[in-house]
């Protein structure tokens, strides 16, 4: 699979991920990786918090930042 943003620029790069929001393939240059908190655990008791990764394309990352 190839990066959609690179294809729009008439180049070819191998994708390393898929945008969480729009599903576009992204290469290492165009991938935007954000940390997001995840809560897990049982109903009774304190939740356990962890940090997960979310991959986004530049357009979706910019839209979320606005």
**Sign of torsion over alpha carbons 57, 60, 32, 19:** negative
The structural domain count of the chain equals: 1
Encode pLDDT of 43-55 as tens digits: 787 888 899 999 9
Predicted confidence at residue 9, as pLDDT, reads 92
Asked if residue 41 has pLDDT above 90, the reply is no
The pLDDT tens digits for 27-37 are: 999 999 999 88
Question: Domain range holding 22?
Answer: 4-65
H or E element: which one contains 66?
Answer: none
Whole-model pTM: value is: 0.79
């Amino acid at each position: 699979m190839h990066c959609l943003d690179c294809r729009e620029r008439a180049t070819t790069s191998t994708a390393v991920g898929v945008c969480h929001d729009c599903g576009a393939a992204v290469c290492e240059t165009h991938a935007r990786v954000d940390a997001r908190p995840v809560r897990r655990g049982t109903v009774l008791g304190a939740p356990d918090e962890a940090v997960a990764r979310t991959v986004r394309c530049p357009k979706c990352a910019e839209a979320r930042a606005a």
